[in-house]
């Protein structure tokens, strides 16, 4: 168990994501996923108000009641995102507080443990967003606050303003894409998070599924890579660098008697600042396989080799002569 950033609660080393629930994961598989996750000792469950237009929250709320597990989980959701609209992101007080009420109703709970701002909204003053967050916390409807997809300067700006104003609930986490294939947050986000005592919740920890190795030789017909609506999301990692990294992960997995997914998750799980990678499995079988990484400890030689082959480009101003780390 690990502290959830600079907060007093602790969560497991892996989190359960529900973005596929209600879309490619039906009620029966979602039920099996939740059972497997709880049986493995997991407690942090992540969703968002826009996942399948709220269906993910509704399904999660139904299963929480069915399992009678509200007191044993840390429930996280998000607001701000408005897909397929001209504005795209809305962090105004009006939208946030209305979105919170809708999330509470769909989840069928009185309080959300971790309420996350899904993205930075350039059209709303950050002071207004932070004020709405404080109102949500003071009302008792939110316990802790997080951010997601903020850049380094945006993260620092929001947290600094909170410190100056003396917030009711400081930002305790940032949810960012992070994996062996996407290490860009090591340039600015991880140093910022360390300085601000913010925990990191990596999304897409398996590199949009590419690190499972299933795309090494072909594209499975039932995968996101074969779906015209989602193939571009996966193909972002269809290049020579990604292939070298995936081959290295597969080689390490073969030597360890593990799956490539377990190796990739074990590497990420122990990175500085990481609290809990978020597992977004489509099926219960995929989730169980990923949960196996909890038992895997990478030898230092393999950890170092994976570090080297996936090392991101670093330069001015985040590294080099101007920095003393």
Amino acid 216: pLDDT: 83
pLDDT in tens, 77-102: 999 999 989 999 999 999 999 999 99
Amino acid 169: pLDDT: 81
Q: For the chain, which residues score pLDDT lower than 50?
A: none
8 Å CB contact between 211 and 173: no
8 Å CB contact between 129 and 98: no
Fold of 2-310: TIM Barrel (3.20.20)
Nearest to 59, CA basis, from 45, 71, 72: 45
Amino acid 218: pLDDT: 64
pLDDT in tens, 206-228: 999 999 998 786 676 766 665 66
Contacts of 92 (CB under 8 A, 6+ apart): 121, 124, 128, 129, 132
8 Å CB contact between 232 and 179: no
8 Å CB contact between 117 and 149: no
Catalytic center residues: 51
d(CA 310, CA 268): 12
Q: How far is CA 283 from CA 17, 43, 52, 188, 286, in A?
A: 12, 18, 17, 34, 5
d(CA 151, CA 167): 21
Boundaries of every domain in the chain:
2-310
Alpha carbon 314 to its chain's center: 23
* Burial grade of 281 (CB within 10 A; 0-12, 13-18, 19 or more): buried
Alpha carbon 98 to its chain's center: 23
């Amino acid at each position: 168990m690990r502290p959830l950033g600079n907060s007093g609660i602790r969560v497991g080393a892996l989190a359960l994501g529900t973005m596929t629930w209600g879309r490619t994961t039906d009620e029966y598989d979602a039920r099996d996923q939740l059972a497997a996750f709880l049986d493995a000792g997991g407690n942090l469950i992540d969703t968002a108000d826009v996942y399948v237009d709220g269906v993910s929250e509704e399904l999660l709320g139904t299963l929480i009641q069915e399992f009678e597990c509200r007191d044993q989980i840390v429930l996280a959701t998000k607001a701000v995102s408005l897909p397929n609209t001209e504005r795209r992101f809305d962090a105004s007080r009006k939208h946030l507080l209305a979105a919170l009420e809708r999330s509470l109703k769909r989840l069928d709970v009185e309080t959300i443990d971790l309420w996350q701002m899904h993205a930075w909204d350039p059209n709303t003053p950050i002071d207004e967003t932070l004020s709405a967050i404080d109102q949500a916390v003071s009302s008792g409807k939110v316990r802790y606050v997080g951010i997601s997809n903020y850049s380094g300067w945006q993260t620092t700006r929001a947290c600094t303003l909170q410190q100056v104003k003396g917030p009711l609930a400081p930002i305790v986490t940032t949810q960012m894409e992070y994996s062996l294939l996407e290490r860009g947050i090591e340039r600015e986000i991880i140093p910022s998070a360390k300085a601000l005592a913010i925990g990191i919740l990596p999304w897409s920890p398996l590199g949009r599924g590419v690190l499972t190795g299933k795309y090494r030789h072909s594209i499975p017909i039932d995968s996101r890579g074969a779906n015209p609506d989602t193939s571009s999301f996966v193909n972002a990692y269809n290049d020579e660098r990604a292939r070298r990294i995936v081959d290295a992960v597969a080689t390490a997995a073969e030597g360890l008697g593990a799956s490539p997914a377990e190796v990739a998750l074990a590497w990420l799980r122990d990175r500085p600042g990481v609290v809990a990678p978020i597992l977004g499995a489509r099926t219960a079988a995929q989730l169980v396989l990923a949960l196996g990484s909890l038992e895997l400890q990478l030898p230092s030689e393999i950890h170092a080799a994976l570090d080297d082959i996936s090392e991101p480009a670093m330069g001015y101003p985040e590294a080099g002569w101007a920095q003393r780390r």
